[in-house]
Amino acid sequence: MARPPKARPTHRRVDAQSNSDHFSPMARTTPKAAAVPQSSLRFSLINAILLVAGLAAIVAGYALLASGSTVGAPLLLVLGYAVLVPLGIIL
């Protein structure tokens, strides 16, 4: 009676010279350039301008608040905190 053929192993053998993704203590590890994760938030010149404008509006709003303004101070504070700073972070 004939023997059935041997089943091939499903794993691959990795030697020291191969550059495979398969884990082996002998396998050479090379850093991948594309492995750096891309951030969804990118900081540019527009972001910096909006954040500085928001900070300036907030400082001016607190200065007007200290001097007794009841119209200009709240408007500048809302503009800084609710509009310019979030836009500086999001855009």
Provide DSSP, 19-84.
Answer: --SS--TTSPP---GGGSPPPS----HHHHHHHHHHHHHHHHHHHHHHHT-SSHHHHHHHIIIIII
Specify the pLDDT at position 11. 62
pLDDT digits (tens, 9 = 90+) for 60-81: 999 999 999 999 999 999 999 9
Domain count, the chain: 1
For residue 77, tell me if it sits in a domain.
yes
**Span 11-55, pLDDT tens digits:** 665 555 555 555 555 656 665 566 666 766 678 999 999 999 999
Domain carrying residue 53: 42-90
37 occurs within a structural domain: no
- Residue 29's pLDDT is 60
Question: Does residue 54 form part of some domain?
Answer: yes
* Residue 6 domain flag: no
Mean pLDDT of the chain: 80
Residue 66 in domain = yes
Q: Is residue 33 part of a domain?
A: no
**What pTM does this model have?**
0.56
